[in-house]
Amino acid sequence: MVDEGEVRRIAGLADIQIPEDEMPAFTVQFNRILDYFEVLDTLGEAGAGERALHTVMRDDEPRPSLAREAVLANAPADEDGFIKAPRVM
């Protein structure tokens, strides 16, 4: 059983906020889904290496990058060729 505090903590890890007025209903639904997942608990742990494929690697050959205008074209804000982002302090 996951309570609203735990939902808030998880939301914090995901940089998502669930509006407080939606929180009770959200938490109820969240728990119903988690209850459904309980069926998995009847199984053992998977061993590593279940994936049958192996990665095919590429050669170390440079190809042209995008033009800077194309890099910046989708960015909401840029300055002197850099893309603007939130502050980190």
CA-to-CA dists, residue 58 to 52, 55, 61, 65, 75, angstroms: 20, 10, 8, 17, 30
Q: Is there binding between residue 3 and other proteins (CB under 8 A)?
A: no
- Identified binder of other proteins from the candidate list 1, 5, 21, 79, rule CB under 8 A: 79
Hey, CA dihedral for 63, 68, 69, 71, is it positive or negative?
positive
Give least dist CB 1 to other proteins, A. Answer: 13
Q: Is there binding between residue 4 and other proteins (CB under 8 A)?
A: no
Count of CB atoms situated within 10 Å of the CB of 8? 14
Applying CB under 8 A, the residues found at the interface with other proteins are 2, 7, 10-11, 13-19, 22, 26, 29-30, 32-34, 36-37, 39-46, 48-51, 53-63, 65-66, 68, 70-77, 79-89
